[in-house]
Amino acid sequence: MSVGSCEIDPSQFPGGGSPVRSQAAPANLLNQVTFNRRELNRILDLYGRMVAAGEWRDYAIDFHKDRAVFSVFRRSSEVPLYRIEKNPKLEQRQGAYSVISATGLILRRGHELDRVLRVIDKSALAVVS
């Protein structure tokens, strides 16, 4: 099969599908706060351990203009047990990371994600022991 100026060889693309046209990302996607790879790996590591312990069953990730939120659920039909939030506007003050309970109480806030997540790790160890 010859590839002319108007034709595209489907074997050039994974899965044999058509090429994805590159489009500029919408402006609202560029302004969102997100978790970076290291942060997400740390959160998902904790999530995996809690799922294995039978404590958590579901999660949701929300990216907003001012913050990123990782919510964990015991059941998907309930309110989140915990919300792990990243708010860069608070970086210089209380710290960008916080863990918020289902009642809205801020359990811990700080500059380092690992230290903030310890509040959940400690409560899980107390329940299991």
The pLDDT of residue 75 is 79
In a domain, 59, yes or no: yes
Edge-to-edge strand ranges of the sheet holding 106-110: 58-63, 68-73, 82-86, 97-101, 106-110
The pLDDT of residue 32 is 85
CATH of the domain at 62: 3.30.2440
Averages of pLDDT over runs of 10 residues in the chain (129 residues) are: 48 48 54 89 93 91 92 85 92 91 93 92 57
3-class secondary structure, 57: coil
3-class secondary structure, 13: coil
The pLDDT of residue 1 is 44
In a domain, 43, yes or no: yes
Count of domains forming the chain: 1
The pLDDT of residue 77 is 72
Q: What value, to the nearest 5°, has the Cα angle with vertex 30 and ends 25 and 35?
A: 120
In a domain, 22, yes or no: no
The pLDDT of residue 100 is 94
In a domain, 23, yes or no: no
The torsion defined by the Cα of 55, 61, 62 and 68, in degrees rounded to 10, comes to 90
Q: Which domain holds residue 95?
A: 37-128
Pair of tokens at residue 92 = 């210089």
